[in-house]
């Protein structure tokens, strides 16, 4: 198991979430998506202001994973209101908007800990289904989600920069 702490993020964590959001997006998609698109995507969707909005909206939940030694941000997860094309959307839906770890922390159980926290929180909020979108060519992530009970329920087009990519929309009952 990876030595790290997980905690519910607060308003003071927006900059740390932005930093790890940008780093993990770049690390995950460099060499896969267009470089200019990645840089552009990191500017707005991964800005500190974006994370601050989620932290302040009263409906989203964000967790920060920090290295046990030194406390550097190494991963995070975001639950928020869904904006995915899902079949039969209901008030019981919640979206796992993001869940990322720096790659050197993969395989140590930390991703599963983040996922379990998100599932528990969604249930405690009275939600009945958890949705997520994942790049359709990201086999490693899709396998991770399948191991946690998700299955594909749809497809969406996801814009990064000037290009659109296919995402699998996945869901699991809570």
pLDDT of residue 18: 97
In percent, how much of the chain has pLDDT > 70? 99
Q: pLDDT (tens digit, 9 = 90+) per residue, 108-162?
A: 999 999 999 999 999 999 999 999 999 999 999 999 999 999 999 999 998 888 8
| Separation between Cα atoms, residue 114 and residue 118, nearest integer Å | 6
Average pLDDT over residues 43-71: 95
What's the predicted TM-score (pTM) here? 0.93
The CA-based dihedral angle spanning residues 80, 174, 91, 86, taken in that order and rounded to the nearest 10 degrees: 80
pLDDT of residue 86: 83
Mean pLDDT score across all residues of the chain: 94
Out of 3.40.630.30, 3.40.50.1820, 3.30.70.20, 1.10.10.10, the CATH code matching 4-128 is: 3.40.630.30
């Amino acid at each position: 198991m990876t030595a790290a702490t997980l905690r519910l993020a607060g308003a003071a964590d927006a900059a740390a979430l932005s930093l790890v959001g940008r780093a993990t997006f770049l690390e995950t998609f460099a060499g896969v998506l267009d470089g200019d698109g990645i840089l552009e995507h990191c500017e707005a969707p991964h800005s500190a202001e974006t994370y601050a909005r989620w932290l302040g909206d009263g409906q989203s939940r964000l967790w920060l994973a920090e290295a046990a030694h030194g406390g550097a941000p190494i991963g995070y997860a975001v639950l928020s209101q869904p904006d995915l094309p899902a079949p039969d959307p209901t008030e019981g839906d919640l979206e796992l908007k993001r869940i990322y770890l720096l790659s050197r922390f993969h395989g140590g159980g930390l991703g599963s800990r983040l996922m379990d926290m998100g599932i528990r929180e969604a249930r405690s909020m009275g939600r009945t289904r958890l949705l997520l979108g994942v790049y359709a060519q990201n086999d490693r992530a899709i396998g991770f989600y399948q191991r946690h009970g998700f299955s594909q329920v749809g497809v969406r087009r996801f814009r990064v920069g000037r290009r659109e990519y296919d995402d699998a929309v996945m869901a699991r009952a809570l």
